Amino acid sequence: MRGKREYDFYVGNKIFTDGTHVMAILNVTPDSFFAGSRHAHDAVETAEKFLKQGAEIIDIGGQSTRPGAQSVSAIEEMARVLPAVESIKKAFPDALVSVDTFYPDVAQAAIDLGADMINDVSCLADKNLAKVVAQNDVAICVMHDRRKSKIPDLFFDKETGLMRAVDSLLSQGLDKSRILLDGGIGFNKNNDEDWQLLRDYDKLLDMFDEYPFLLGTSRKSMFGGTPDTRLSATLDSTILAVKQGVLFVRVHDVRENTAVINLSK
């Protein structure tokens, strides 16, 4: 494990250079398993709690990405997400807000309300998203998506897939300092692949040594049991992320993950 790495990653006017930071998950979906982030009308209260507990980015999601979940339209996603973005930015103007979407129209509407970052789990399935992000000069997290790949080698697949996304963003004029990458644990991979990726996540960081990475393992099914029994394993993966030099962890349990990050420094 390589440990400490240094980057220049900008979200809004804030720069993140090293260490491991917390992105808090604030879901406004009806089926969210985490009660602390389920309802749009609780968005400000939940965001305030997360910020006090150490979150540096609030990631608002209106589309369930759980296995088997049905996708919702851009219009429905806007109805869920935009009130939360607007209310949080009004209450906490300096808070960094990310929106979890793969729809260009949702991204643009959220940016118009003050969103600082887009979190795209589709690896730019819609190329217009790259244009929206670049034109507005906001940060983006791009997650690898294995759905359409026929490449058997997991890491070579990630290298080629993520590189295509990076090239697309750069070709639209987005500065590299606005790009964060995500290996996509729990997305269109079997359990063995998820564990292989987690153990060797630093290989991805070495492949893309100019770009920081996010790790998203919070309470995922790879840990077995039910979501409410997976906190301990999530914290173990956060400790691993710190040791590997991952810049962000995306989590439900902000206080606990912040504590283990501080203890692992």
The pLDDT of residue 29 = 85
Sign for the CA dihedral angle at 55, 29, 68, 97 comes to: negative
User: How many other β-carbons are positioned within 10 Å of the β-carbon of residue 256?
Assistant: 16
| Full set of structural domains in the chain with CATH | 9-264 (3.20.20.20)
At 189 the pLDDT is: 76
> What local confidence, expressed as pLDDT, does residue 105 receive?
99
Beta-sheet strands, E only, within the chain: 9-11, 14-16, 21-27, 57-61, 97-100, 117-120, 139-143, 179-182, 213-215, 248-251
pLDDT, average across residues 49-66: 92
Query: What pLDDT score was predicted for residue 16?
Result: 98
**DSSP SS3 for 202:** helix
Catalytic (active-site) positions: 220, 250
Please tell me which residue, 162 or 248, carries the higher pLDDT value. Answer: 248
Q: Are 180 and 247 in contact (CB under 8 A)?
A: yes
Whether 183 and 154 have beta carbons less than 8 Å apart is answered as no
Span 162-219, pLDDT tens digits: 999 999 999 999 999 999 999 999 876 778 888 888 999 998 899 899 999 999 999 8
Mean pLDDT, the chain, whole residue set: 90
**pLDDT value at 36 more than 50:** no
**pLDDT tens digits for 92-128?**
999 999 999 999 999 999 999 999 999 999 999 999 9
